Amino acid sequence: MPDQPAACALPQDLPQDLPPPPPARRVARVQVRDGTVSSGERSVPEEVPVALTFNGTTHAVMMASPTDIADFALGFALTEGIVASAAEILSREVIVVEEGIEARMWIAEEKMKHLSARRRALAGPTGCGLCGVESLVEAVKPAALVDAAGLFSPAAVLDAMAALGPLQSLNHETRAVHAAAYFEPGRGVLALAEDVGRHNALDKLVGKAAEAGFDTSRGLLLLTSRVSIEMVQKAAVLGVGVIAAVSAPTSLAIRTAAAAGITLCAIVRADGFEVFTHPGRIALIPSERQDHVA
């Protein structure tokens, strides 16, 4: 086996001065409503392949909205554990090519050796049972332990979600993208990211928060999607103590949030929400408390 994985970065001589694609496009459509047929246009979100490369080697290609790609790259590197801080990325650039977008990052050679070794361990030859086991372990690895001591009123959770809606400009235009946002009581929504993929939106938010240097233990993570284990794992990297989501969590997400010390609020509506883990960060009156919640 070679010492380094085969490089599959985009050729270096491709055009590098192309404008980024727009986040949404107008397309023709035929509408059928109440028995009436009409022609017209609708705005739909753009979706492009984004290659995330480290030291000239492509690590992953994600389908994403063509916005905030530099933040996406940083957030991805952090949530994947490739780097521990933004300072560990020596350089970062976004290149638009005909085939999509390449986010080029350069990291210290020691970090790259570790990344290459991890890729080799998870790839392996076809039919090697151990490789599958290692891949499964990697997929369900525990989230980082979060130690955030904030206390939030139920009204603060509801106010946070109410503030998110008006700021989702791309979703207002297309009705087809997810959002992730960081909110602090008294300060409002401090950072927001939108993407066709819920994981991508959260990675972009992680990148934005890292660039801004927020003390995320003071606020809430807002999600417009369901909460899966990957979202909890990424939230733990962000360092927030509370997740507030519009949709419901999976059972594995609940177990992961409980183990990570994260308060998981979901099914947030105008009239209330449900708390699945660590309710101590929500200032509930005694009659509202559920002692059996982790």
- Numbered ranges of CATH 3.10.20.10 in the chain: 1-139
Q: Does domain 1-139 have CATH number 3.10.20.10?
A: yes
DSSP SS3 for 189: strand
CA dist 79 and 84 (Å) reads: 9
Q: How far is CA 209 from the centre of its chain?
A: 12
Q: Does domain 154-288 have CATH number 2.40.50.140?
A: no
Per-residue pLDDT tens over the stretch 84-130: 999 999 999 999 999 999 999 999 999 999 999 887 765 544 444 55
Return the H-helix or E-strand segment holding 24: strand 24-33
CA dist 220 and 189 (Å) reads: 9
CA dist 71 and 192 (Å) reads: 11
Any idea what the Cα angle at residue 9 is, between residues 121 and 230, rounded to 5°?
50
Token digits of residue 168:
């989702």
Per-residue pLDDT tens over the stretch 147-184: 998 899 999 999 999 999 999 999 999 999 999 999 99
At a CB cut-off of 8 Å and minimum separation 6, what does 278 contact?
Answer: 241, 257, 258, 261, 262, 263, 264, 293, 294
CA dist 37 and 68 (Å) reads: 38
Mean pLDDT, the chain, rounded, equals 90
Per-residue pLDDT tens over the stretch 243-268: 999 999 999 999 999 999 999 999 99
Token digits of residue 266:
């979901």
- Numbered ranges of CATH 3.40.140.10 in the chain: 154-288
Low-confidence winner among 102-116, 152-166, 210-224, 278-292 (lowest mean pLDDT): 278-292
Q: pLDDT-based confidence at 141, cuts 50/70/90?
A: confident
Catalytic site includes residue 131: no
Q: CB of 251 within 8 A of CB of 234? A: no
DSSP SS3 for 216: helix
- Which residues are paired to 215 by β-bridges? none
Phi/psi of residue 133, nearest 5 degrees: -60, -45
CA dist 63 and 99 (Å) reads: 12
Percentage of residues of the chain with pLDDT beyond 90: 81
Q: CB of 217 within 8 A of CB of 242? A: no
Query: For the whole model, what pTM was predicted?
Result: 0.89
